[in-house]
């Protein structure tokens, strides 16, 4: 049995690098930017009004000052003349501030009568002008790699990147195994349950920017598993679920070995998730996850997500941890690293009462995995512990 850290290192070594492709910006949300891009223009390209009001001559105005309104500046259609002393231009948000004006007086602060305005109150500190280049300058670098969030998509659009270099979405085949499994929506027989793990893992993979490929459920016989392994060909990563323990019907290791799997490890000193295996099979990376629902999803968080991030150029690093005080005491831990389903209340963390690795309801209501290092001593309320936020 190897440690979680050793298993992660071996997984990173197996992770294939994913190539770069170019997609239209409309399709770049949630993708990983693969190369730095440069702003193709300056924003705002001109000094722009931040308010609806009047651009007045000079750089200030006092109560009682009067100006003749000689024109109008709208967003998209500026005023082309130059203001002289005593002149103002009606201006709207986003319009270029005309030459000769250094301040926009908001419309609430003036009295207008015909084509004349009178300043009502003393102006606040600001000039209500967005300076040219105040947001970004042409040539400014937008660094890669990064997982593009909606605000960054807007920024890429604003800097005029219509085609975005991103890593291809990794193709990840998911194979559920077991005679007891049926798909969601089907009517399970008396001895059957729903193949839930594959769906949770697919959602996790999609969240990270991968394309999960749910293959038919492999039955607990070698021919069926062989057939589904054949369907997985071409994937960057093949993830199997279940069938990885040492029971008579645990065929994954056996069938994979017969197909020539180059196994990197089997069994990790963790709870839940001990019967984890990984290696190379049919030209792809393969991870064999345990079948228990909590084990499969915890391994998804602890291993699959960091592996995907490594594949997508985001660096080979474990899932980020936070430090929190315990809200309840915990007992001493055994030899395996324990990932306890836990809840965070008022900034303190407490493990759920029931830690059985079959309990999806407990995992679904957990906010975090509280990490107990191997052989960690009993800990009291208030002691600091590490956790992975879910
Ligand atoms: P196994 O490793 O195949 O012995 O599976 C361990 C436990 O996880 C058994 O109770 C299985 O019924 C359950 N299990 C295996 N695969 C899945 C799956 N895809 N979805 C939900 N439960 C599963
Ligand atoms: Mg099974």
Structure tokens at 105: 């007086």
Distance 196 CA to ligand 1 centre (A): 9
Cβ atoms within 10 Å of 135's Cβ, excluding its own: 15
Residue 256's domain comprises 4-17+169-311
Residue 362 in domain: yes
What helix, strand, coil percent values describe the chain, rounded to 5? 20, 35, 45
Distance 63 CA to ligand 1 centre (A): 77
Can you give the pLDDT of all 390 residues of the chain as single tens digits?
999 999 999 999 999 999 999 999 999 999 999 999 999 999 999 999 999 999 999 999 999 999 999 999 999 999 999 999 999 999 999 999 999 999 999 999 999 999 999 999 988 879 999 999 999 999 999 999 999 999 999 999 999 999 999 999 999 999 999 999 999 999 999 999 999 999 999 999 999 999 999 999 999 999 999 999 999 999 999 999 999 887 777 899 999 999 999 999 999 999 999 999 999 999 999 999 999 999 999 999 999 999 999 999 999 999 999 999 999 999 999 999 999 999 999 999 999 999 999 999 999 999 999 999 999 999 999 999 999 999
| 97/56 Cα distance (integer angstroms) | 9
**Ligand 2 ion: Cβ-proximal residues, 5 Å cutoff:** 178, 242-243
Residue 316 in domain: no
Tokens 């049995």: give the residue.
1
The answer to whether residues 312 and 17 touch, using CB atoms and an 8 Å cutoff, is: no
| 11/6 Cα distance (integer angstroms) | 9
Structure tokens at 331: 């007992």
Distance 362 CA to ligand 1 centre (A): 17
Ligand 1, residue 290: give the atom nearest the CA: 2
Assess whether 207 and 341 both reside in one domain.
no
Quote the DSSP letter at residue 89. E
Cβ of 180 less than 6 Å from ligand 1: yes
Burial of 41 (0-12, 13-18, 19+ CB in 10 A): middle
The CATH number linked to 38 is 3.90.105.10
Distance 250 CA to ligand 2 centre (A): 6
The CATH number linked to 246 is 3.40.980.10
Cβ of 357 less than 6 Å from ligand 1: no
Assess whether 183 and 241 both reside in one domain.
yes
Distance 187 CA to ligand 1 centre (A): 18
Ligand 1 binding pocket mutation candidate from 292, 297, 360 (most atoms within 8 A of CB): 292
The answer to whether residues 287 and 307 touch, using CB atoms and an 8 Å cutoff, is: yes
The answer to whether residues 256 and 218 touch, using CB atoms and an 8 Å cutoff, is: no
Ligand 1, residue 217: give the atom nearest the CA: 19
Assess whether 295 and 368 both reside in one domain.
no
> Which of 261, 280, 311 is the last residue before a domain boundary?
311
Assess whether 220 and 287 both reside in one domain.
yes
The model's pTM: 0.90
């Amino acid at each position: 049995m190897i440690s979680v850290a050793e298993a992660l290192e071996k997984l990173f070594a197996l992770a294939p690098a994913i190539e770069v492709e170019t997609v239209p910006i409309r399709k770049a949300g949630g993708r990983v930017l693969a190369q730095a891009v440069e702003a193709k223009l300056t924003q705002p390209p001109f000094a722009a009004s931040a308010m609806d009001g009047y651009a007045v001559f000079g750089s200030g105005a006092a109560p009682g000052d009067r100006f003749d309104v000689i024109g109008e500046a709208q967003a998209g259609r500026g005023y082309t003349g130059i203001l002289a002393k005593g002149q103002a231009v009606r201006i709207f948000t986003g319009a270029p501030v005309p030459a000769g004006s250094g301040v926009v007086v908001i419309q609430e602060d003036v009295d207008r009568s015909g084509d004349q305005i009178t300043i009502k109150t003393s102006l606040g500190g600001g000039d209500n002008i967005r300076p040219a280049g105040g947001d970004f300058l042409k040539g400014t670098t937008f660094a890669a790699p990064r997982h593009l969030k909606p605000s960054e998509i807007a920024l890429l659009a604003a800097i005029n990147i219509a085609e975005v270099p991103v890593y291809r979405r990794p193709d990840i085949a998911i194979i559920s195994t077991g005679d007891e499994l049926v798909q969601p929506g089907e009517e399970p027989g008396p001895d059957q349950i729903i193949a839930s793990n594959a769906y949770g893992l697919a959602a996790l993979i999609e969240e990270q920017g991968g394309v999960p490929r749910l293959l038919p459920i492999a039955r607990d016989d070698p021919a069926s598993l062989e057939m589904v392994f054949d369907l997985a060909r071409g994937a960057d990563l093949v993830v199997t679920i279940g069938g990885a323990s040492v029971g008579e019907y645990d065929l994954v290791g056996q069938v994979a070995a017969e197909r020539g799997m180059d196994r990197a490890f089997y069994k990790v000193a963790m709870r839940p998730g001990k019967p984890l295996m990984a290696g190379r099979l049919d030209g792809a990376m393969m991870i064999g996850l345990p079948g228990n629902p909590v084990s499969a999803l915890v391994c998804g968080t602890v291993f699959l997500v960091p592996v995907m991030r490594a594949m997508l150029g985001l660096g080979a690093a474990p899932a980020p941890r936070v430090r929190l005080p315990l809200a309840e005491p915990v007992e001493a831990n055994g030899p395996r690293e324990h990932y306890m389903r836990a809840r965070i209340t008022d900034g303190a963390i407490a493990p759920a009462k029931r830690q059985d690795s079959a309990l999806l309801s407990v995992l679904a209501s957990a906010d975090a995995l509280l990490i107990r290092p191997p052989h960690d001593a009993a800990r009291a309320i208030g002691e600091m512990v590490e956790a992975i936020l879910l």
